Structure 1
């Protein structure tokens, strides 16, 4: 099926002299007939339960045991897509990075910690593929890293995470109709000496996962 092209826009600059100067601006894109629906198990909630302050380091960051959550993506037809995530608690992560997301602030405005969402290709199934490989792009899909079996993290902005059927491929994601995966959520808590521990500190991490059509 041919993509529907968007309207071309031509920008004209009026001449100051007798010679006319023009410059063209081409606006391109396409509308895909397919759509994909992502879903997370447990209503998208990863609960780390109640954690004693005594189990956290006073002077160092504490990495908690990762917790799993299931992801499924169902498309109307085999579709080339990638994933990215937006941090709905932007600015509250301990580290300013495209792969780390914030856990919110405590009562005194201190940053509680951060979390990351890990994709392990060995825990991903897609259509009838015998093995799924992970590929990623840090250029918004203009170029892709070699697909491999290494664990990767979903990123934000121009960082895209996709899925391939060929080890070492740099062609980007392949068309997939149905995908299921077990993700691991890794939480890191700030040193307790930097937090207000006079009352409960509630994790308040929230992110929006987006399917990007390629």
Structure 2
């Protein structure tokens, strides 16, 4: 599996200048990807809730639900390429339990809450045509079609991948353009000191891997 980077390292070792048979070795290593794909979130990837009062939020057993937000993810490639996506939580120290989503940061050393990133396969376009979502639990060795896609935090699920297919085969399709409307659903915990201003601080990195 190749990542969307081009790396080149030049390594050189020099023999002693006093050796009878002085030699020098030059090693060139690197990889060239088959395509260049650029993933981009709309609104620079910012989901802004502005100012919300707790009384405006729906109460549930373990907290308060944040309003659903939607954000478009577009992936443009200079030549058709098959790829997968993984997501990493930059606020993993929020202490979210496995499967609880991505952390929303901390307030006075307390975990604020969590959010999930998911989408319906109805909201997937591949080269302008309706597509579907595929996922892998074994780092891309096998795939299955799912009606609803979502990101799993790579720290908890290192072998999880998501991709997109334009056919009936359960594997990512080589594409020049993919557009997905994603939903962000989150909650904040009940035991936060809401007498203070609580600032949400979620951050997720989405990485594209060439297949």
Q: TM-score range by the shorter chain?
A: 0.7 to 0.9
| TM-score, normalised relative to structure 2 | 0.77
Asked whether the 8 Å contact 1:104–1:112 carries over to 2, the reply is yes
- Give the 3 Å change call, closer, same or farther, for CA 58–142 of structure 1 in structure 2: closer
Greater strand percent: which structure?
2
Unaligned runs of 5+ in 1: 1-28
| TM-score, normalised relative to structure 1 | 0.76
Residues 48-197 of structure 1 correspond to what in structure 2 (within 5 A)? 48-56=49-57, 57=59, 60-92=62-94, 94-97=96-99, 100-107=101-108, 109-129=109-129, 131-145=130-144, 147-148=145-146, 150-155=147-152, 156=154, 157-167=158-168, 169-170=169-170, 172-191=171-190, 194-197=191-194
Q: Distance in 2 between matches of 1:49 and 1:68?
A: 15
Asked whether the 8 Å contact 1:83–1:212 carries over to 2, the reply is yes
Q: Distance in 2 between matches of 1:91 and 1:166?
A: 39
- Give the 3 Å change call, closer, same or farther, for CA 93–118 of structure 1 in structure 2: farther
Q: Distance in 1 between matches of 2:92 and 2:128?
A: 38
Deviations 1:4-63 (A, max 9, x none): xxxxxxxxxxxxxxxxxxxxxxxxx96423110011111110012212123454863222
Asked whether the 8 Å contact 1:93–1:103 carries over to 2, the reply is no
**Regions of 4+ moved over 6 Å:** none
Structure 1 stretch displaced more, 44-53 or 76-85:
44-53
**Paired positions, count:** 177
Q: CA RMSD in A?
A: 2.0
Unaligned runs of 5+ in 2: 1-29
Q: Distance in 1 between matches of 2:111 and 2:40?
A: 29
Q: Distance in 1 between matches of 2:49 and 2:113?
A: 13
